[in-house]
Chains A and B, each alone.
Chain A
Amino acid sequence: KAGVTQTPRYLIKTRGQQVTLSCSPISGHRSVSWYQQTPGQGLQFLFEYFSETQRNKGNFPGRFSGRQFSNSRSEMNVSTLELGDSALYLCASSLKKEVADTQYFGPGTRLTVL
């Protein structure tokens, strides 16, 4: 079974631009969660989607948004990029039959904002 894939793996943008990151979950997984990882703040939850609906949202500004498609693939968008948005963005998928279901993480997209 293929793992979680994220594209692109690396991305360089400039302040003020917007960016879209993509995540393909493991086949059969209906839940996709997004996380931001930085050296200073560690791993922080962004949002979770299940069956195309956002179920949970972390404490991030409205510039961060996401969506999930009918095939469970998910995208996250960051508008008006700031230097502080430079981070590793991780997506994780799970069956989500239970709260503590195992989450399988992708390798991440490393975003650098100049």
Chain B
Amino acid sequence: TQLLEQSPQFLSIQEGENLTVYCNSSSVFSSLQWYRQEPGEGPVLLVTVVTGGEVKKLKRLTFQFGDARKDSSLHITAAQPGDTGLYLCAGYNAGNMLTFGGGTRLMVKP
């Protein structure tokens, strides 16, 4: 079973601070995805990383895929209250089923 572990589970920070969320596995994934979910909504895809060592930037969000394709990180610079939400990493396992990490609940206080 390919499991994805996210850390931290909860994060409460002040507006303007930086933060990093980690997604780790003992298994290799062909690709990893990051989603954000807000209350009352379904998850929304932020990015897909495919190549080991790949770095993608989305405004203040930076996503990195580990060289061995077993881990990924999401870094947010100068967090804003609008970044508040549940961040989920996910990867397709050998059976082509999308497996999700447990999620990181982020709260950014003004």
Indicate whether A and B interact: yes
Q: Is the CB of A90 within 8 A of B42?
A: yes
Sample of 15 more A-B contacts, CB < 8 Å, known A58-B97, A104-B45, A105-B42: A42-B101, A43-B43, A43-B90, A45-B97, A48-B97, A56-B95, A56-B97, A90-B42, A99-B92, A100-B33, A100-B50, A103-B45, A107-B40, A107-B41, A108-B42
| Interface status of B44 (Cβ within 8 A of chain A) | yes
A60 to B102 alpha-carbon distance, docked (Å): 18
A4 to B95 alpha-carbon distance, docked (Å): 24
**Which residues in A have some Cβ–Cβ distance to B below 8 Å?**
4, 33, 35, 42-45, 48, 55-56, 58, 90, 92, 99-100, 102-108
CB contact between A100 and one of B31, B88, B97 (< 8 Å): that residue: B31
> Which B residue's beta carbon lies closest to that of A92?
B42
A15 CB, nearest partner CB in chain B, Å: 26
Q: Is the CB of B98 within 8 A of A33?
A: yes
A2 to B63 alpha-carbon distance, docked (Å): 29
**Which residues in B have some Cβ–Cβ distance to A below 8 Å?**
30-31, 33, 40-45, 48, 50, 88, 90, 92, 95-103
12 CB-based A-B contacts, threshold 8 Å: A4-B42, A33-B98, A42-B100, A43-B100, A44-B100, A58-B97, A92-B42, A99-B92, A100-B30, A104-B45, A105-B41, A105-B43
B29 CB, nearest partner CB in chain A, Å: 10
- B43 contacts across to A, CB distance below 8 A: 43, 90, 105
Q: Is the CB of A100 within 8 A of B42?
A: no
> Which B residue's beta carbon lies closest to that of A3?
B42
A90 to B98 alpha-carbon distance, docked (Å): 13
